[in-house]
Structure 1
Amino acid sequence: MCGIAGLFDRTGTRMFDADLLDAMTDSLSHRGPDDRGTHRAPGVALGHRRLSIIDLSAGHQPLFNEDGSVVVVYNGEIYNFAELMADLRARGHVFQTRCDTEVIVHAWEEWGAHCVERFRGMFAFALYDAGRGDLFLARDRLGIKPLYYTELKDGTIAFGSELKALLEIPDLPREIDPKAVEEYFAFGYVPDPRSIYTGVFKLAPGCVQIVHRGARLGAPWQYWDVTFDDAAPQRSEATNAEALRAGLTDAVRARLVADVPLGAFLSGGVDSSAVVASMVAAGAASIETSAIGFGESDYDESSYARRVAEHCGAHHHARQVASDDFDLLEILPAVYDEPFADSSAIPTYRLCEQTREHVVVALSGDGGDEVFAGYRRHRWHHYEELVRRRLSQRVRGPLFGVLGKIYPKLDWAPKPLRAKATLQALARETVDGYFSTLAVVPAVQRERLYAPEFKQRLSGYRAVDHLRAVMAAAPTDHHLSRAQYADIKTYLPGDILTKVDRASMAHGLEVRVPMLDHPFVEWAGGVAPGQKLRGREGKYILKKAFEPRLPRDVLYREKMGFAVPLASWFRGPLAHRVRASLQGGPLRSCGLFEGAAIDRLVEEHMEGTQDRSQTIWALLMFAGFLEKVHEKPAQRTRAPVSA
């Protein structure tokens, strides 16, 4: 995988500063340790860091067409590049390499902006056409690869694979977006297209941005969206199971092409196990698998991972995260740039670190929960919608509102007795109810945390507004499909894929995601909701499909997830660090939070009366962002963007 960065001047005359381009490019050296390249010409500057995967001796970037009029810097893999190359050769295009990067420049020449519709893979790239005077930015359909961009005060367009590339620009305003803060504490990440900074954007999945010379920066154009065909004639369970196995095997086979060692993540869960079993079916000669475990049995799946590896004949590598592995608290904020509150970033980082010792490319099972309705919240959302259909809001609101208010919050109790959140969700409308199951920091706690001045800056904005807009755009009327759509558009790119991309790239590891092969996702959109969620069984059709290939107790065991024992950490070995970080430093001086509210929630957690671990973690990561990213000046102190 790679890192890209660059600058574009709409007048077409400016010569950008070489030192600035080098700083932006080299800030991404972890994404591409094998090679670097830059290109400067009037009106454009492009930088690239390369992790060599295919055609190791060639493929240097920036890469040009025959006459040098089209140039691209690219991060990703286009798995159907061989077929596209053959097609383009037949149309008269001449290739100098056998790498997928060169396909992009010729596909642009042949099909223009619509070239992305022909690409099967994961990608983010910037292409400059000197003849047209256009800068073309593109991101893959599901958002596997990231791309940030902004327009500076002088009209310069700047972009990069990670926010840290843009932070090398001394002229970049670092104004924290109040709406992004609200979204972060609600979702645990800042969802596309917003970033933590006002005026800096993430190109949304399935979108392209074209900047014309002499024209203002317009809105991105969406070339692909998730589809659901709930009204189509339904295929039988047996037919879908067979098609699913074949489709996933095909997606995996396409991702086995590499000129470097290749393996897989294996947690022992359904998704990663299905991917490893599909690697066997696709004819992988030898499979290296990696897993991370915890000392706490409630969080440890390593025994299942070993069993699947033995079942599939894989060479398995396992390591345990120590109960006092807290060094990453200092590292993670700089890895993610924006505040990021998914604590599973800790084991993910360690998993990538371990995997890179054995392979350069790893396949993962990410996306299975979103595509086949595997989260617990999908099941509860379905149950709640059944109740909402039978009782009007006039009845539900008062009834469940009162019950939810008086029912105690039993964090310590067995799961069947923790009914408070469900009762509160039933009192709400559909979107608000689903949002309550997603929120990292509940609305009541966010309201208490925010300082009065910050609430004024929010002007009444609430993160649920973002989810409401996404769900309103869902191309389906079925409540389960709408929830899946919302997760695919928000949680998947904002949390899951961001987490894996930054953790893997920090170690120069490429991760491929066959569950998010877009033809496979499109096929899954035509599977009936009742075959995805059957009773209490999420991912039902995926599990049925792999009964011939995997042990039954692996497929049908209780979902565990990739969680971290935060609650016990914060009451034990991390208690001192929590107090030191949250009761002083930039978190108290930034003007966003009420100090007394922070103190109160910390004490509630330490005393054991409430579990505030998710809120504490979100605050810790925000404090880390302020200290390690926001308040850290650009490495270059020289002001001019151009020379």
Structure 2
Amino acid sequence: MCGISGWIDFQRDLTREQLAIDAMCDTMSCRGPDARGTWVAPHAALGHRRLAIIDLPGGTQPMTSPDGDVVIVYSGEAYNFTELRDELRRRGHQFTTDSDTEVVLHGYLEWGPQVAEHLNGMFAFAVWDTRTEQLLLVRDRMGIKPLYYYPTEQGVLFGSEPKAILANPLAEKVVDADGLRELFAPVKTPRHAVWSGMREVEPGTVVTVDRTGLREHTYWQLRATEHTDDQETTVRRVRELLDDIVARQLISDVPRCVLLSGGLDSSAITALAGLELRRSGEQVRSFAVDFLGQAENFVPDELRATPDTPYVHDVAEHVGSLHQDIVLDPDALADPAVRRAAVQARDLPMGLGDMDQSLYLLFKSIREHSTVALSGESADEVFGGYKWFHDPAVREADTFPWFAAVRTQQGQQASVLAPHVTEALDLESFVADSYRTAIAAVPTLDGESGLERRMREISHLHLTRFVRVLLDRKDRMSMAVGLEVRVPFCDHRLVEYVFNAPWSLKTFDGREKSLLRHAAADALPKSVVERVKSPYPSTQDPKYAAVLQGQVADLAATGNEALSLLDGGWLREALAKDPANIDTPTRYAFERALDLATWFDIHHPTIKL
């Protein structure tokens, strides 16, 4: 895993711009703490920060072809690189390293831009071909690894993260009304990167840049196909895929582990990893997050019926993992330095608060023991695990399901935005327009029933919009501490197969994630097989909310720029509340205010409404 960056300019002599490419590259030192390299020519400059995972001595980048005509900077993992290397050798290619980067480079020499179609993995890479003066920006099918670009008058800037692009003097730190809409009503508009002028390479897409301009080619997207397997065959096929995926994603030349929450998703990955490693006499290592006093003082709510820890320990004992709980206290979660690290990692003030901070702290602790971690992320989107998939009111709502679910569970939250911002953004119309655009892109089959068609729509919305927010969050928080997180449930073969399984098959036992539950049941303790879905944990300690209130009061006293976006009346009322009885919407709003203020502090964006 790594961070990549670059600058293409068909008029400027970039050999004189070494300091600029160095600055872009160095913004991502956390993504690649093991090595740093640049390659500079008159019209192309590429930068790379390396986190060494495969072939530690041999995978140095930027990497050039044997004749020096082609240069690549690569981030990610190609899990089928050994098979591809064998195929390329049969075609006459010779290799000098054991790295997957060299395989991707030779794959480009053999297949050109179509190399992406041959890869199984998570990746974002750039190829500069000196023979044609053409740049390729390539992103994996599900968007697991990030990649952004910023067109200029004479070329393009690109990077794994916006901060790399923003380090270049050509990039303006401007956020317009559309960017703010993405922040305050996150719908993950395709290609939108929040920063004005910046774009995100779409998953499953190749962007080509040359002297004639910029073009996009989609090499993969979800398609609707008829599912002909019966229930037993489908369950068996899901298990076969998962066994193969987990085995591939355990390949590493550095210590690896699994993230274990005690839910079905992470427990299944832990159990299958344990079975695979046991064949070679190894023991799987697992980590879980917990909060001080959470198990003893847990109070069930609409989202979380049970605490995670008892189930975590059931799985660890059942699988025989070498397990460690990472226990966090309210002071650590509320530490402004931790919040700053989380906001800086994401480049955006997303307002998830303690769930961002705890993830960052969890990954930071794990990095002391492992460099690679397997995660259960995305199983809910693939298999239909969220409660709102099964709520008739949400299914019938004419909006994104996750928006309808919030209204159903908590009631419509009052806006915390200043009146002039609310009026300028018109978020209600923005969400409605975004929803209509997203629905229009859903592939369907002729003859599908009303329910089957609707559930295909909901699944597609989650796999093309919702999951990308979560994948970006996990990538940013993990790479901020130099930890590579792999997501087996995002293997495109599994995603394609389950997406086309009828909803009746996905819920054949009357519960959520029926296919996954039955595919992994033999490897799991009964307690987890029967457990009801519970999302990523959040601290329930009232001290945390009280600390947030105090921090927002300090913010109001100092007058941060971010406060100009917030409603002063709401702020005064929220600060007057009893610190011991702060409700969930108010706590969420405090998180948003603090994240916004931190973001302004880091980037000093120019806001154009």
Of 459-468 and 538-547, more deviation after overlay is shown by: 459-468
Instruction: Identify which of 318, 321, 340 aligns with 1:314.
Output: 321
1:142 alignment partner, SS class:
coil
For residues 226 and 7 of structure 1, the distance between their equivalents in structure 2, rounded to whole angstroms, comes to: 32
Asked if the contact 1:178/1:458 (under 8 Å) is kept, the reply is: no
Of 191, 199, 206, the match for 1:193: 191
Instruction: Tell me the CA shift for residue 471 of structure 1.
Output: 2.3
The CA deviation at 1:440 is 12
Q: Do the aligned residues in 2 keep the contact of 1:264 with 1:287 (CA within 8 Å)?
A: yes
Show the 5 A alignment for 1:241-640.
Answer: 241-284=235-278, 285-294=282-291, 295-297=293-295, 298=298, 300-325=307-332, 326-327=334-335, 328-343=338-353, 344-380=355-391, 382=392, 384-385=394-395, 429-431=397-399, 435-437=403-405, 449-452=417-420, 455-456=423-424, 462-476=430-444, 478-494=453-469, 496-534=470-508, 537-565=511-539, 568-569=542-543, 571-581=545-555, 585-588=559-562, 590=564, 592-601=565-574, 603=576, 608=582, 611-630=585-604
- Which residue number in structure 2 is paired with residue 29 of structure 1? 29
The whole-number CA distance in structure 1 between the counterparts of 2:40 and 2:586 is 51
How far the C-alpha of 1:228 sits from its partner, in A, is 4.0
> How far 1:510 moved relative to its partner?
0.9
Measured at CA, do residues 43 and 531 of structure 1 come closer, stay the same or move farther in structure 2, by a change above 3 Å? same
- AA at the equivalent of 1:208: V
Contact 2:173 2:605 in 1 (8 A): no
Shift of 1:613: 2.4
Per-residue deviation, 1:66: 1.1
Q: Is the 8 A contact 1:185 1:441 kept in 2?
A: no
Secondary structure in structure 1 of the residue aligned to 2:6: strand
1:25-68 deviations in Å (ceiling 9; x for gaps): 11111111111111000110001011111111111100011111
Q: 1:473 to 1:369 in 2, by over 3 A?
A: same
Partner of 2:78: 78
CA contact (8 A) 2:128 2:135 kept: yes
Structure 1 stretch displaced more, 514-523 or 473-482: 473-482
CA distance in 2, matches of 1:57, 1:594: 55
Equivalent position SS for 2:330: coil
Amino acid at match of 2:290: G
Change over 3 Å in CA distance of 1:630–1:488 after alignment to 2: farther
Q: How far apart are residue 174 of structure 1 and its match?
A: 1.2
Report what 1:226 is aligned to.
222
Any idea what SS the aligned residue of 2:481 has?
coil
Q: Measure how far apart 1:210 and its partner are.
A: 0.4
Is contact 1:288-1:358 (8 Å) kept? no
Quote how far apart the aligned CAs of 1:134 are: 0.6
Shift of 1:99: 0.8
- The 2-side partners of 1:269 and 1:137 are apart by 36
**One-letter amino acid of the counterpart of residue 385, structure 2:** G
Q: Mark the CA change 1:617 to 1:102 in structure 2 (over 3 Å): closer, same or farther.
A: same
Query: CA offset at residue 110 of structure 1?
Result: 1.7
The range that moved more, 132-141 or 577-586, is 577-586
Normalised to the residue count of structure 1, the TM-score between the two structures is: 0.84
Change over 3 Å in CA distance of 1:440–1:177 after alignment to 2: farther
- Aligned residue pairs, count: 581
Q: Kindly state the Cα deviation for residue 292 of structure 1 after the two structures are TM-superposed.
A: 0.9
Give 1:521 deviation, angstroms. 1.2
Structure 1 unaligned spans of 5+: 389-428, 633-643
In the alignment, the residues of structure 2 paired with residue 459 and residue 524 of structure 1 have an alpha-carbon distance, to the nearest angstrom, of 33
Question: What is the identity, as a one-letter code, of the residue corresponding to 1:193?
Answer: R
Q: State whether structure 2 residue 96 is matched by structure 1 residue 90.
A: no
The 3 A distance-change label for structure 1 pair 176 and 567 is farther
Could you give the per-residue CA deviations for residues 523-582 of structure 1, whole angstroms, max 9, x where no partner exists? 212322122235762111111222211112212212221132378356423321122235
3-state SS of 1:102 partner: helix
Pairs within 5 Å for 1:4-15: 4-11=4-11, 14-15=14-15
Structure 2 counterpart of 1:205:
203
Q: 1:249 to 1:64 in 2, by over 3 A?
A: same
Deviations along 1:380-410, one digit per CA (max 9) or x if unpaired, are 1x4554xx5xxxxxxxxxxxxxxxxxxxxxx
What is the deviation of 1:522?
Answer: 1.4
Give the stretch that moved more between structures: 557-566 or 127-136.
Answer: 557-566
How has the CA–CA distance of structure 1 residues 544 and 184 changed in structure 2, closer, same or farther, with 3 Å as cutoff? same
Could you give the per-residue CA deviations for residues 125-175 of structure 1, whole angstroms, max 9, x where no partner exists?
Answer: 0110000111000111111111111023x4331111111111211231111
Render the CA deviation track for 1:436-472: whole Å, top value 9, x for unaligned. Answer: 3268999965766244266336698513422331222
Provide the TM-score with structure 2 as the length reference. 0.89
**In the alignment, residue 341 of structure 2 is paired with which amino acid?**
I
Amino acid at match of 1:232: H
CA shift at 1:15, angstroms? 3.3
In the alignment, is residue 162 of structure 1 matched against residue 161 of structure 2?
yes
CA distance in 2, matches of 1:454, 1:384: 25
Q: In structure 1, how many angstroms separate the alpha carbons of the residues matched to 2:130 and 2:227?
A: 46
| Contact 1:159/1:166, CA 8 A, preserved across alignment | yes
Distance 1:631 1:162 in 2: 16
Tell me the equivalent position of 1:401: none
Q: Give ranges in structure 2 of 5+ residues lacking alignment.
A: 299-303
Q: Deviations over 1:189-208 (max 9, x none)?
A: 86542122111111121111
Distance 1:166 1:550 in 2: 45
Deviations 1:271-309 (A, max 9, x none): 111001111332452211111112223374122112101
Q: Is the 8 A contact 2:175 2:605 kept in 1?
A: no
Query: How many angstroms apart in 2 are the aligned matches of 1:75 and 1:48?
Result: 9
Structure 1 pair 215–603 and aligned structure 2 pair: CA distance change class (3 A): farther
Q: Give the counterpart letter for 2:148 in structure 1.
A: Y
Paired with 2:598 and 2:80, the residues of 1 have a C-alpha distance of: 41
Q: Is contact 1:250–1:282 with CA below 8 Å preserved after alignment?
A: no
Alpha-carbon contact 2:548-2:590 (below 8 Å) kept: no
Structure 1 contact 436–442 (Cα < 8 Å) conserved: no
Look up the match of 1:240: 234
Q: Any conservation in 2 of the 1:570–1:613 contact (CA below 8 Å)?
A: no
Q: Is the 8 A contact 1:362 1:512 kept in 2?
A: yes
Name the aligned partner's letter for residue 319 of structure 1: I
How many percent identity over aligned positions?
Answer: 33
1:12–1:44: 8 Å Cα contact kept in structure 2? no
- Who is 1:417 aligned against? none
Q: 1:351 to 1:365 in 2, by over 3 A?
A: same
Q: Which amino acid aligns with 2:424?
A: Q
Q: Give the structure 1 partner of residue 183 of structure 2.
A: 184
What SS class does the counterpart of residue 380 from structure 2 fall into?
Answer: helix
